[in-house]
């Protein structure tokens, strides 16, 4: 079946511009996570959505970062006024939340380059 | 807070050599443990996972890992590596229930020479 998809696969933007990154989770998966993979920080958690509950935003590095999830499916991560340190690969993962242990399935990522 | 340490940042092996990658975690509660692999140009894939039960878990492509609770360790092993195992390997830990964000180690780059 279809896996997690993300778009665009690559994004180059100028410093100060806003960007939107999209994630389509696996159908039926109610849990959705965003992570960031960068040279300096490794793989780090950004934000978590579970069903209709309020998201856990504890990993967002600044208030320039926000995310939403519409209809419990597609999610968009928005970075406002991008900075060079935002350059990274942004990964989305989804899971069939069961209340107990589960694994996360990752998408291919969006490589963001801020010039 | 949870943390994960991977002791080897770069490993170079010849084909048919045995592999062991170390992973230690810090967390006071019940955890899930994972090894993910990222082949060149590809996305993260799950190699194996431990949720509960038998502490020796087997994953894809001949990999296995052993959970030693007393040592807070989850080392990855493979008896005989292949050139196609060249990749970056990430150990990760999460809580066992509820909000299960993954906390990753810094990764180990494995290069297998033919």
pLDDT digits (tens, 9 = 90+) for A70-85: 887 999 999 999 999 9
Is the CB of B101 less than 8 angstroms away from the CB of A33? yes
Q: Which residue of A has its CA nearest to B95?
A: A101
Task: Grade residue B27 by pLDDT with cuts at 50, 70 and 90.
Answer: confident
Is the CB of A103 less than 8 angstroms away from the CB of B103? no
Whether A99 shows a pLDDT value over 70: the answer reads no
- Look over chain B and give the mean of its residue pLDDT values, rounded to a whole number: 94
- Asked whether A67 and A77 are in contact (CB, 8 A), the reply is yes
Identify the pLDDT of residue A101.
67
| B28/A61: higher pLDDT | A61
Is residue B45 classed as helix, strand or coil in its secondary structure? strand
Shortest distance between the Cα of B82 and any Cα of chain A, in A, equals 24
DSSP assigned state of B71: G
The pLDDT tens digits of the residues spanning B48-87 come to: 999 999 999 999 999 999 999 999 999 999 999 999 999 9
- Comparing CA positions, the residue from A8, A1, A47, A61 lying closest to residue A26 is A1
Is the CB of A42 less than 8 angstroms away from the CB of B106? yes
The pLDDT tens digits of the residues spanning A35-82 come to: 999 987 789 999 999 888 889 999 999 999 999 998 879 999 999 999
Q: Which residues pair with A111 in a beta bridge?
A: A10, A89
Q: In B, what residues contact A, Cβ < 8 A?
A: 32, 34, 36, 42-46, 49, 51-52, 90, 92, 96-107
Q: Which residue of B has its CA nearest to A110?
A: B43
Task: Grade residue A1 by pLDDT with cuts at 50, 70 and 90.
Answer: low
Please give the distance of CA B65 from its chain centroid, rounded to a whole number.
7
Q: Which residues of B touch A43 (CB under 8 A)?
A: 90, 92, 102, 104, 107
Is the CB of B96 less than 8 angstroms away from the CB of A91? no
Is the CB of A45 less than 8 angstroms away from the CB of B32? no
- Asked whether B87 and B81 are in contact (CB, 8 A), the reply is no
- Look over chain A and give the mean of its residue pLDDT values, rounded to a whole number: 92
Identify the pLDDT of residue A52.
81
What does each C-alpha distance from B39 to B5, B44, B97, B104 come to in angstroms?
A: 21, 8, 29, 17
The pLDDT tens digits of the residues spanning B37-47 come to: 999 989 899 99
Shortest distance between the Cα of A18 and any Cα of chain B, in A, equals 25
Identify the pLDDT of residue A44.
95
């Amino acid at each position: 079946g279809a896996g997690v998809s993300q778009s665009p696969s690559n994004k180059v933007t100028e410093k100060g511009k806003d960007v939107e990154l999209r994630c389509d989770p696996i159908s039926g998966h109610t849990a959705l996570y965003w992570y960031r993979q960068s040279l300096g920080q490794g793989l780090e958690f950004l934000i978590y959505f579970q069903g209709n509950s309020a998201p856990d935003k504890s990993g967002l590095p600044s208030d320039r970062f926000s995310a939403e999830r519409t209809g419990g499916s597609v999610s968009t991560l928005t970075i406002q006024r991008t900075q060079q340190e935002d350059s990274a690969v942004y990964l989305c993962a989804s899971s069939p939340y069961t209340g107990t242990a589960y694994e996360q399935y990752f998408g291919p990522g969006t490589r963001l380059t801020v010039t | 807070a949870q943390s994960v340490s991977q002791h080897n940042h770069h490993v170079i092996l010849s084909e048919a050599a045995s592999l062991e990658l170390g992973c230690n975690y810090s967390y006071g509660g019940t955890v899930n443990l994972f090894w993910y692999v990222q082949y060149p140009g590809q996305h993260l894939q799950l190699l194996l996972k431990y949720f509960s039960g038998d502490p020796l878990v087997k994953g894809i492509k001949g990999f296995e890992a052993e959970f030693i609770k007393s040592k807070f360790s989850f080392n990855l092993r493979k008896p005989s590596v292949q050139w196609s195992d060249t990749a970056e390997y990430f150990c990760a830990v999460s809580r066992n229930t509820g909000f299960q964000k993954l906390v990753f180690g810094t990764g180990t780059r494995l290069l297998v020479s033919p």
